[in-house]
Amino acid sequence: MKIFLVGPMGSGKSKIGKLLSSEINLDLIDIDKEIEAKFEKTIVEIFDSEGEEGFRSKEIDFLEGINKIEGAIISTGGGIVEASVNRDILIKEKHVIFLNASVENQYQATKDKTKRPLLNNENPKQVLESLYEHRLDLYKSVSNLELNTDLLSNEDIVKEIISFLNV
């Protein structure tokens, strides 16, 4: 079984992925961390040297190779839904969970992080708002389950996912 976690940056995909992994005993694959390890660069360094387009290309390559993986929890980057090829892959999957978070909660979760290249500007909250408005329907279009992380504890989110998976 493959379980994909999608949603905006700061929605808790990595945190929920870790908790879920320990509960159902599946490996956690964090796409951003896998890309960093493969290319021996941080996401910020990839954005600096290759731009967002270069990073998105690496994301596409990684997601296309995921078919070889039998069972895992895959934590995606917030922009995974930007590329139509990625959406096409995700739409075919049975377990795509959209972790939805308000812009305010996204901001609180990311405001002290320096490894978020899209937020390295004067008004990161405005960027989060713009990205959220642009991507919301894309997240909804690929997901089979939507959970609002503003309203549920991490433990309750994991319980909801386990119930959805029927494991």
Tens of pLDDT, residues 103-153: 999 988 887 666 665 666 677 888 899 999 999 999 999 999 999 999 999
Asked whether residue 163 carries a pLDDT value surpassing 90, the answer given is yes
Tens of pLDDT, residues 35-87: 999 999 998 899 899 988 999 999 999 998 887 888 999 999 999 999 999 99
**Strand order across the 72-75 sheet:** 28-30, 72-75, 2-6, 96-100, 145-148
H/E run at residue 3? strand 2-6
34, 55 contact by CB (below 8 A): no
- Domains along the chain? 2-160 (3.40.50.300)
Give me the pLDDT at residue 79, please: 92
Give the Cα separation of 117 and 115 in Å (integer).
6
Whether pTM > 0.85 for this model: the answer is yes
